[in-house]
Every structure is written in structure tokens, then in C-alpha cells.
Amino acid sequence: MTLISTISEPQSTLAEALSNRPVPKIRIAAFCETTETHDMVALAAIDRRMMRANIDFQMGGTKTAIRQYSNAPTPDLILLERQVPGDLLLEELGRLAEVCDAGTRVLVIGASNDIRFYRTLMDRGISDYLVSPTDAPTLITAIGRLYEGADAQKLGRTCAFIGAKGGVGSSTIAHNVASTLADRLQYDVILADMDLPFGTAGLDFNIDSAQGMVEALESGDKLDELLFERLLGKCSERLRMLVAPATLERPYDLGEEDVDAFVDMARTSASHVVLDMPHLWSSWARRMLVAADDVVVTAVPDLANMRNTKSLVEALRKARPNDAPPRLVLNQIGVPKRPEIKIADFVKAVGLDPLVAIPFDPKPFGTAANNGQMIFDVAARSAKPFAAISEALLESSGGKRRGGKGWGFLSRLSPRRRSA
């Protein structure tokens, strides 16, 4: 059976317009004049980049805000929609400033798109001004920029791989994509085996490194660059890895917060972070999937996989309204004598075209798994799907550069400068 090549359309440009930087743990209060802006803020509030921020929003203008904060502390950021003439707005902002605590920033959404007015607002200490109507990605990017800091490092992209069912080949695909990105396409990659009790990354790369993954997850605030570098196992020049202990000496119960510090650290250390997820829907696993820049769901063409893929795609679409849907990889197509659901029917049911459909190819896959090798090193021809998946991930990051090394000049420009 031959590889069914790349099928899906390029991902939405919406996600590309958004920065991949999470907004820090700040308190935000939004005062909206129109229901359109109220709904837009509600959409921004559930965005994955806003996961750590706490955002309250209500209808009301400057008066409501002033009344609310006359005798109460102000949050880190006030979003104020105000569609009034410039002079009146400046006067109202002056009164709002009187009740604001030092350190509170104000972002205004207004009707004027006059650059002189924008400059006047900036001179008066307003942090940013968006012309209405605006949208959730623009708002999130503007908030992110406020808290980015001048010395902010570029963050690597995270890609989470999960199987629609156990044993479908998700880890094999994650490992081979990580290796393709690092060894063939020359990106700096960190592969994290999140399947703590049963992970196979150590076996697949023939690496016998201690408990890198567990220590990284359990170090919390103590996880600094030095410790993190020490925990990484080196697979090749550009591929480093956090190995799962894969022992059952103790149970592994992770909290939602445990994973944040680790992912933050990994993203400052490599341009791509590949998360090999277990087939699990716990709170931390869901958080990681929702927060990832890209999600790849692997499924084999049977009924249970089809139902689970549909559930996963729907849940992730709902939780990531401002992002492209997950990528679908169909795997193990054409197992002899096994009845299977036709690709067209599978696609129709889940509402998503597969990025690639990988044939059941037991010889190279079995040899690679048992020898601790990558498919490319066993049978280069069978590794084509991993190149296609890697290219698609690079495309969605806006950085498709075959043979590119680490950070590119364009990718270093902020969205604002890029559109200037």
C-alpha cells in the first residue's frame, strides 16, 4: 500500500496571527459598551493563551469602572471600551487614573483611528489602544505584548501528540517527527515523554537516562536553566529528550500547575517541543493539549477510534476557539484481513481531513521499535509521512524553511513590526 500524501488544507491564518506567548498570571477587568465587544472579550477569555490570567468582564463604561474602584483595589489591567469623542474620552481617563493603583495598566478600545489621538493617549500613560471593531486574536496579542518585556526570549512551539486510542502509534509518530525536525531539518528540538509509567521514548532512542521527566515536573519553582539542562538526555546534535521513568515503583499524579513551569522552561530552550502524551484525559493532560500550539491526533480506522477522534476534535475545537483544529494522522491503514472504516467515511464523521494516512508497515516499524531506531534509519522510504507532518507543523508556525537553523530573522519580528 502506498502512502496517501498530504491531504489537508493549510491551517487557518487566524492562529498564525496570534502570538504563542501565554499571558501571565494577571488580573484583568473589562468594561464593555457594546455586546459585540463583550462577546469578543468572552471569546478571548477562554483562549489558551489566557489560561493563567483571571479575567472579569461586564457591560459598562468609565463611570462603572470609577464607581467600582473608588473603594477597591484595581486589577493589573483594565480594558475599557469607550466610543465617545476624543476630548471626552481623555477627560474620563483622567478621572479613572485618579482611582487606579500604581501599576494598573489601561487598554482602551475606541472608535477613532487617528494616529495623533493614539499618540496623545500613549503620552497620557494609556498602555495600548485598539480601534473597534476588533477581534479576540488582536486583543490577546495586544495584552501579551504589554507583558512581554523588552528582553523577552523567543518561545519555541509546542506540539502535543495523542492517540485516539491506546497503541495506535502516536508515540512512534511523535518520536519520528521529533527526529525529523532535529536531524533532517536542523531545528533544536526537545522531546518530552509525558507517559510517565509506560513511555517508550527511552527505548525508541536507546537512551538510558535517569528520571529526567519526573524531576522536571516535580521541581516546580526550583526548575532553572541549569537544572533543566542537566535533566535533558542528548539523542543527537539537535535532539534532546526528557525520558519517562517507565517504572511502576510509585504512582504519578500530576496537577495542572505542575506542567506549566516545565513547558515554559522547555520553550525557552528549543525551537520545537514535542510532547508525547499518553492516551489520557486527566486535568493536566487536557490542560497540556489545550495549551499546545499544535495538537496531532493519531487514529487507526476503526469504530472506537472514529468516535474518540470525533470527541477529541470537538472538545479541542471548543476549548481552542481562536486556533486551527487539531491535525489528524490516520495510521496503520491496510492491516491484512482486518476490516476497516474507509478513509472517506472516517473523514466525514470526524469533520477533519487527515494530514497523512500511514500504511500498516510492520517490517520497518517493528524493526525500528525493537532495535531502538528511527524509521528513517531502517527504511528511509517509509519515513516520508514524518517529513510531511514536520513540514505541516513548520508551516503552521509560519516558519517553513527546509534546512533552516533554529530561529529565523522573520520569526524574530513581533507581529506588530511584521505588519508595519
Ligand X SMILES: Nc1ncnc2c1ncn2[C@@H]1O[C@H](COP(=O)(O)OP(=O)(O)OP(=O)(O)O)[C@@H](O)[C@H]1O
Binding track, positions 330-349, relative to ligand X; x by CB under 6 A: -xx-----------------
Q: Residue 52: which of ligand X, Mg ion, none does it interact with, CB under 5 to 8 A by kind?
A: none
Q: Give 138 or 200: the residue with its C-beta nearer to ligand X.
A: 200
Q: For residues 393 and 378, give the distance between their C-alpha atoms in angstroms, rounded to a whole number.
A: 24
DSSP string, 185-197: T---EEEEE--TT
Considering the complex, what minimum distance in angstroms separates the CB of residue 276 from ligand X? 7
Indicate which single residue of 126, 194, 274, 369 sits in contact with ligand X (rule: CB under 6 A): 369
Q: Residue 19: which of Mg ion, ligand X, none does it interact with, CB under 5 to 8 A by kind?
A: none
Q: Residue 360: which of ligand X, Mg ion, none does it interact with, CB under 5 to 8 A by kind?
A: ligand X
Q: Residue 10: which of Mg ion, ligand X, none does it interact with, CB under 5 to 8 A by kind?
A: none
Residues in 59-118 that interact with Mg ion by CB under 5 A: none
Indicate which single residue of 154, 279, 286, 307 sits in contact with ligand X (rule: CB under 6 A): 279
Cell of 135: 477581534
Cell of 60: 459598562
Considering the complex, what minimum distance in angstroms separates the CB of residue 197 from Mg ion? 11
Report long-range pairs for 209-213 (Cβ below 8 Å, ≥24 apart).
209/233, 209/241, 209/243, 210/243, 211/243, 211/245, 212/241, 212/242, 212/243, 213/242, 213/243, 213/244, 213/245
Q: Does 332 bind Mg ion (CB under 5 A)?
A: no
167 dihedral zone (left: phi>0; alpha: psi -120 to 50; beta): left
Distances (CA, A) of 216 to 79, 226, 241: 36, 11, 11
Q: Residue 358: which of Mg ion, ligand X, none does it interact with, CB under 5 to 8 A by kind?
A: ligand X
Considering the complex, what minimum distance in angstroms separates the CB of residue 6 from ligand X? 16
How many Å from the N-terminal Cα to the C-terminal Cα in the chain? 49
Q: Does 351 bind ligand X (CB under 6 A)?
A: no
Residues in 161-220 that interact with Mg ion by CB under 5 A: 171
DSSP state of 20: -
Q: Name the residues that contact Mg ion, by CB under 5 A.
A: 171
